[in-house]
Amino acid sequence: MISKRSFLYRLCLVVLLAISTTITHAQTDPAGAEIGTINVTVYYATNGDPTAAGQRAEKVSEKTKTKLSAAKSLQFKHYRYLASESKAVFKSYENWSQPLKPSDEVLVRFETRLAPTKNEIPLSIDLWLSRKKVLKSDVTIKSGQPLYILGPEWRGGRLIIAVELISQKS
């Protein structure tokens, strides 16, 4: 026979378990589910002296140079890698990338527009320069196909911002 005290103890335990399970389910937010990862890279491009980009700027590989110069508006003699940042893409939340940390001179805001399909995510992208929105576009980012954005003039050249889908979760 179960004593009254033991019965009450077990009843309290069951109630606490039920409450904690409810709280755990309530904290799960499907809109916050991670659906992929985006990489935002900033390049410096110039027909002049590439050392104007600074000491930390790195020369890009020939493969990257070929990709960048494929578009007519992105053809320059010299390209330098400045910085990059990888950020998670959430199902229904806006995401921000700040590739030139700690500076907030270049910010990229992106959020999903539609449900992702295999190897691509439809996004709404905003480019912010010096805290001003300078570009808003709806694009579909595909794995292995970066989106190149010709940015502002900077130190005698131009900034190029590349946005690329580097991984996707089902």
How high is the pLDDT of residue 86? Answer: 92
Helical H segments across the chain, by residue range: 4-27, 62-69
Does pLDDT of 20 surpass 90?
Answer: no
Q: 1: burial class by Cβ within 10 Å (0-12, 13-18, 19+)?
A: exposed
With beta carbons less than 8 A apart as the criterion, state whether 88 and 96 touch.
no
Q: 139: burial class by Cβ within 10 Å (0-12, 13-18, 19+)?
A: middle
Does pLDDT of 145 surpass 80?
Answer: yes
Give the Cβ contact number of residue 100 at 10 Å: 17
Q: What is the pLDDT of residues 71-126, one digit of tens each?
A: 888 899 999 999 999 988 887 778 888 888 888 788 888 888 777 677 788 888 88
- Residue of 89 and 29 predicted with greater confidence: 89
Does pLDDT of 25 surpass 90?
Answer: no
Does pLDDT of 19 surpass 80?
Answer: no
| Residue 169 to residues 73, 109, 110, Cα–Cα distance (Å) | 33, 20, 17
Provide the residue count of the chain.
Answer: 170
Can you give the pTM of this predicted structure? Answer: 0.75
- Residue of 84 and 20 predicted with greater confidence: 84
Domain positions in the chain are 30-168
Q: Which residues contact 39 (CB under 8 A, 6 or more apart)?
A: 84, 85, 86, 87, 162, 163, 164, 166
